[in-house]
């Protein structure tokens, strides 16, 4: 079963008038992972799509998606998949990829239908593409590791870059995940924006009762979302995306836009935030 929800783009002047329910309706994606279903959120931010596929005992096939009006979803798109569950299999273009928890699969434009099976919980990200780049399974050992932060500032974390120019080629999709270390709670602090690219954060590896207070909004007009395990925050280009957790967590960041330069961020120091 395939379910697709469209999220239109929100202007920052509109966003600052929203109440809690309105902010959650536009910027939080809940209930993405449901057994026996593929659930997608089609955003108008760089036409980025995110979602979940949980095959359970069966096989799920992602092929035609009405929203793209193409015969097959990947005809003019590329895809990044992260397995946040147990071992599962993704089959595409005659290749079968066994994915362990934390593995990332990149599928290039024109791959065709994608099948999901096994005990995996597959986080799906996709962006429009203009050429085909080779598909590739990337494991944690192949990722580029960046260590940032300090326990003194409660933001010590390891950033693992998977779909990233230092690891492999893609058109506009950039993806990886960041894990908080040693009791640190803050991700992406100092915060930043990149008006050239949207971004989405999927929070996972969390205790069921834990929450991340995800910060969003223009730097001088911040708002927050309380986010649970396996929920995603959609970050418009004008928004910061940062957060503090009540317990340990990891988050998958994925971006699409004008460039694939991960370091192309405009930083905002804590004392500048409002
Ligand atoms: O903890 C961090 O800092 C991040 O992981 C930052 C994200 O990767 C990001 O926002 C990239 O633009
Ligand atoms: Zn960012």
Answer yes or no: do 6 and 84 share one domain.
yes
| Residue 31, pLDDT score | 98
Burial profile 201-217: b = 16 or more Cβ within 10 angstroms, e = fewer: bbbbbbeeebbbebbbb
- Ligand 1 atom with minimal separation from the 235 CA: 10
Q: Are residues 113 and 54 in the same domain?
A: yes
Task: State whether 99 and 68 are in the same domain.
Answer: yes
**Is residue 108 located within the same domain as residue 35?**
yes
Q: Is the pTM of this model over 0.80?
A: yes
17 falls within a domain? no
274 is written with which tokens?
């409002």
pLDDT of residue 170: 98
Question: Which segments of the chain have a pLDDT < 70?
Answer: none
Best residue among 125, 150, 159 to mutate for probing ligand 1, ranked by most atoms within 8 Å of CB: 159
Whether residue 221 is annotated as binding a ligand: the answer is no
Residue 7: per-residue pLDDT: 98
Q: Can you tell me the distance from the alpha carbon of 106 to that of 104, in angstroms, rounded to the nearest whole number? A: 7
Residue nearest to atom 3 of ligand 1 (CA): 188
Convert the chain into a string of H (helix), E (strand) and C (coil).
CEEEEEECCCCHHHHCCCCHHHHHHHHEECCCCCECEEEEEEECCCCCEEEEEECCCCEEEECCCHHHCCCCHHHHEEEEEEECCCCEEEEECCEEEEECCCCEEEECCCCCCEEEEECCCEEEEEEECCCCCCCEEECHHHCEEEEECCHHHCCCEEEEEEECCCCCCCCCCEEEEEEECCCCCEECCCEEECCCEEEEEEEECCCCCCCEEEEEEECCEEEEEEECCCEEEEECCCCCCEEEECCCCEEEEEEEECCCCCCCCEEECHHHCC
Model pLDDT, residue 125: 99
- Could you tell me if 85 and 103 lie in one domain? yes
Residue 159 domain boundaries: 140-272
The CB of 26 under 6 Å from ligand 1? The reply is: no
pLDDT confidence of residue 247 = 97
- Asked if residue 238 has its Cβ within 6 Å of ligand 1, the reply is no
CATH classification of the domain holding 219: 2.60.120.10
> Nearest-CA neighbor of 21 among 223, 273, 252, 229?
223
Domain boundary among 96, 119, 138: 138
Q: Is residue 151 part of a domain?
A: yes
- Of 232, 170, 190, 219, nearest to 41 by C-alpha is 232
Q: In terms of domains, do 56 and 176 share one?
A: no
Domain count, the chain: 2
Predicted local confidence at residue 10, as pLDDT: 98
ipTM confidence score: 0.99
252 & 198 share domain: yes
Cα-to-centroid distance, 237 and ligand 2 (Å): 9
């Amino acid at each position: 079963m395939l379910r697709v929800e469209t999220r239109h783009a929100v202007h920052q002047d509109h966003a600052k008038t929203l109440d809690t329910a309105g902010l959650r309706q536009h910027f939080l994606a809940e209930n993405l992972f449901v057994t026996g279903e593929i659930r997608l959120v089609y955003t108008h931010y760089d036409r980025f799509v995110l979602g979940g596929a949980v095959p359970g005992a069966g096989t799920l096939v992602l092929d035609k998606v009405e929203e793209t009006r193409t015969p097959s979803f990947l005809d003019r798109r590329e895809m990044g998949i992260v397995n946040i569950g147990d071992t599962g299999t993704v089959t595409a273009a005659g290749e079968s990829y066994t994915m362990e928890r934390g593995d990332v699969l990149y599928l290039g434009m024109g791959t065709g239908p994608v099948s999901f099976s096994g005990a995996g919980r597959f986080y799906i990200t996709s962006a429009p593409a203009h050429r085909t780049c080779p598909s590739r399974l990337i494991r944690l050992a192949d990722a580029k590791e960046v260590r940032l932060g300090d326990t003194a500032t409660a933001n010590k974390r390891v950033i693992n870059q998977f779909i990233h120019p230092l690891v492999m080629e893609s058109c506009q999709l950039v993806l990886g995940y960041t894990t908080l270390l040693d009791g640190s709670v803050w991700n992406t602090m100092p915060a930043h924006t990149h008006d050239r690219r949207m971004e989405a954060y999927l929070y996972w590896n969390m205790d069921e009762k834990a929450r991340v207070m995800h910060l969003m909004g223009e730097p001088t007009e911040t708002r927050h979302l309380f986010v649970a395990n396996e929920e995603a925050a959609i970050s418009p280009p004008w928004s910061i995306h940062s957060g503090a957790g009540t317990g340990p967590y990891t988050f998958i960041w994925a971006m699409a836009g004008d460039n694939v330069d991960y370091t192309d961020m405009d930083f905002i120091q804590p004392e500048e935030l409002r």
